């Protein structure tokens, strides 16, 4: 299995801007793609000079709007630009474009002949901006008209299942050169695991230009190389990951992948965004993922997919760690031990005896929290907007329960020695998402968000902190949620959930690998 190259996609308005970006990230890339369609009209006239300026193999691309690009003019002017970029080939091949990207339906024999004559490889590309490709091998064979082309297929994934079927198709393909990339928010695994797809390269974009590629789902080259150990991934790399939805922000890959590097392990941990937990399990089975961290909203939904459950999962009723051993999935919970260690360090004590604790929420994280509070001998009240869920959790541990709202502000104050916030509220702005025909929400169709109410940004918007409360929020990004900011301003001792994240991740690392993290 070959090691894919890292390609930096350049989308500046000027060659000078693109060159500055290239130089900044040169250490992390192998190839640069000059996206001529993003250049201003005047700058397009000078593209022939770019390979010599870049000093690195360059791909010449002038992408049409229909294929996700920014070139609006007609095909005649585009052909002229291609010809200008290939003209006056230099004896030194390094001063010429190393590759030219021509779409599968764009055939100009003179351009292809010129490319062959100048040793410029042709990337013959197909883009589907609306759906995945179901006949991958057949399509790529049809694009190898001379045997000299590198066929490229880039398609949009609407769900993780679309990504899974791309990986499944490549298992039956030969080792001929190809480029495969899955676009959109679900396609990140295809970029990190390019080696598993047999892809010749993986496309990236610099952070300064990522906004230009937001619908495509590019990653930046530093993150790809350093966070995901991209250059070390091969056919023997053990795969792990984190699944959830919307999974917008997670520091877990940085923690786990750092551990693999420091222990010299051939392993990688990746985000696996899924709308349904069944999709994540299917992806793991097809691609060969051996373990997954499980986050919102799947900690309870994953239980039916586990063939075995640890004692902690059985007691808590939530699973945040799934490991595949001997063909069976085993569910664990490391949230509890992670939170227990975090709270003991936060409070400077190993007991909550004589302390009254308010647990905000009744989901998977709240279940682990209640379990820990009981272990530490604290008394608690579960506050949740849906009262039956609060009642069910509270009665399991002999705790009190109440609806989360202004009418119970006095009761909350009674249980305010320690307040533990376990819901996603405060994690970020609320998005409206378009509901698809199959009843799921797809973040690719984000529209303008409605004004965010106090209740949508701060679960305790109705409560006035007095300053004596200890407040722990399991959210760690942002570092200070609106609730934590208010508590800190009132003089409360506060902490976010990063300590819990690290502690539970270290335990997951040990379960995954059999080795202690530190």
* Residue 478: cis peptide before it, omega within 30 degrees of 0: yes
The closest of 51, 82, 48, 50 to 64, measured between CA atoms, is 82
Which tokens is 300 given?
């309870």
Q: How far is CA 306 from CA 269, 300, 310, 321, in A?
A: 20, 11, 10, 10
Q: What is the spatial order of strands in the sheet that 400-403 belongs to?
A: 400-403, 379-384, 356-360, 418-421, 470-473, 493-495
What angle, 0 to 180 degrees and rounded to 10, lies between the N-to-C axes of helices 364-375 and 335-347?
A: 60
C-alpha to C-alpha distance for 144 and 158, rounded to whole angstroms: 28
| Contacts of 472 by beta carbon, 8 Å cutoff, 6+ apart | 342, 343, 346, 418, 419, 420, 421, 494, 495, 496, 497
Tell which residue, 76, 75, 52, has the closest CA to residue 65: 75
Backbone angles phi, psi at 221, to 5 degrees: -65, -30
CA-wise closest residue to 35 among 92, 95, 97? 97
Count of alpha carbons within 13 angstroms of residue 195, beta-carbon side: 20
Secondary structure (3-state) at 477: coil
Give yes or no: 299 in active site: yes
Helix (H, G, I), strand (E, B) or coil at 280: helix
Contact (Cβ atoms closer than 8 angstroms) between residue 275 and residue 159: yes
Answer left, alpha or beta for residue 18, where phi above 0 means left and psi between -120 and 50 means alpha: alpha
Q: Which of 299, 340, 379, 502 is catalytic?
A: 299
Q: How would you class 504 by CB atoms within 10 Å of its CB: exposed for 0-12, middle for 13-18, buried for 19 or more?
A: buried
Strand blocks (E) in 58-159: 58-61, 99-103, 121-128, 150-156
For Cα atoms 139, 148, 44, give the angle at the middle one, nearest 5 degrees: 90
Q: Measured between alpha carbons, how far is 445 from 421 in angstroms, rounded to an integer?
A: 30
Catalytic residue ranges? 299
């Amino acid at each position: 299995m070959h090691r894919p190259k890292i390609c930096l996609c350049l989308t500046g308005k000027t060659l000078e801007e693109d060159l500055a970006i290239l130089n900044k990230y040169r250490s992390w890339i192998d190839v640069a793609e000059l996206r001529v369609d993003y250049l201003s009209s005047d700058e397009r006239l000078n593209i022939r000079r770019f390979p010599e300026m870049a000093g690195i193999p360059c791909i010449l691309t002038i992408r049409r709007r229909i294929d996700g690009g920014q070139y609006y003019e007609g095909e005649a002017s585009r052909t002229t630009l291609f010809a200008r970029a290939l003209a006056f080939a230099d004896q030194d091949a390094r001063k010429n474009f190393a590759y030219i990207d021509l779409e599968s339906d764009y055939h100009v024999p003179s351009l292809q002949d010129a490319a062959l004559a100048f040793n410029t490889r042709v990337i013959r590309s197909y883009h589907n901006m609306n759906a995945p490709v179901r006949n991958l091998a057949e399509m790529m064979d049809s694009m190898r008209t001379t045997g000299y082309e590198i066929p490229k297929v880039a398609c949009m994934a609407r769900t993780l299942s679309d990504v899974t079927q791309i990986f499944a198709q490549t298992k039956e393909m030969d080792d001929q050169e190809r480029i495969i990339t899955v676009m959109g928010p679900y396609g990140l695994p295809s970029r990190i695991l390019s080696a598993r797809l047999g892809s010749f390269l993986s496309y990236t974009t610099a952070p300064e230009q990522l906004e230009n590629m937001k619908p495509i789902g590019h990653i930046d080259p530093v993150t790809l190389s350093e966070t995901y150990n991209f250059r070390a991934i091969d056919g023997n790399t053990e795969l792990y990951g984190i699944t959830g939805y919307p999974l917008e922000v997670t520091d877990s890959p940085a923690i786990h992948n750092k551990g693999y590097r420091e222990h010299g392990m051939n392993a990688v941990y990746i985000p696996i965004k899924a709308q349904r937990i069944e999709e994540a399990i299917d992806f793991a089975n097809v691609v060969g993922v051996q373990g997954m961290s499980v986050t919102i909203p799947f900690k309870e939904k994953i239980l039916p997919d586990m063939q075995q459950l640890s004692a902690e999962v059985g007691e808590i009723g939530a699973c945040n760690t799934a490991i595949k051993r001997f063909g069976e999935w085993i569910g664990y919970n490391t949230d509890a031990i992670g939170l227990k260690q975090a709270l003991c360090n936060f409070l400077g004590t190993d007991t909550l005896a004589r302390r009254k604790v308010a647990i905000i929420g009744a989901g998977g994280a709240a279940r682990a929290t209640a379990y820990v509070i009981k272990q530490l001998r604290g008394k608690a009240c579960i506050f949740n907007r849906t009262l039956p869920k609060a009642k069910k959790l509270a009665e399991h541990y002999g705790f009190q329960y109440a609806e989360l709202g202004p009418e119970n502000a006095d009761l909350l104050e009674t249980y305010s020695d320690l307040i533990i916030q376990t819901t996603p509220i405060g994690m970020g702005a609320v998005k409206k998402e378009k509901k698809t025909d199959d009843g799921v929400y797809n973040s690719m169709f984000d529209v303008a968000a409605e004004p965010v109410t106090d209740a949508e940004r701060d679960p305790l918007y109705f409560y006035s902190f007095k300053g004596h409360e200890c407040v722990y929020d399991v959210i760690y990004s942002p570092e200070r949620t609106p609730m934590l900011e208010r508590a800190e301003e009132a003089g409360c001792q506060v902490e976010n959930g990063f300590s819990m994240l690290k502690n539970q991740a270290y335990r997951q690392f040990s379960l995954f690998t059999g080795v202690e993290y530190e």
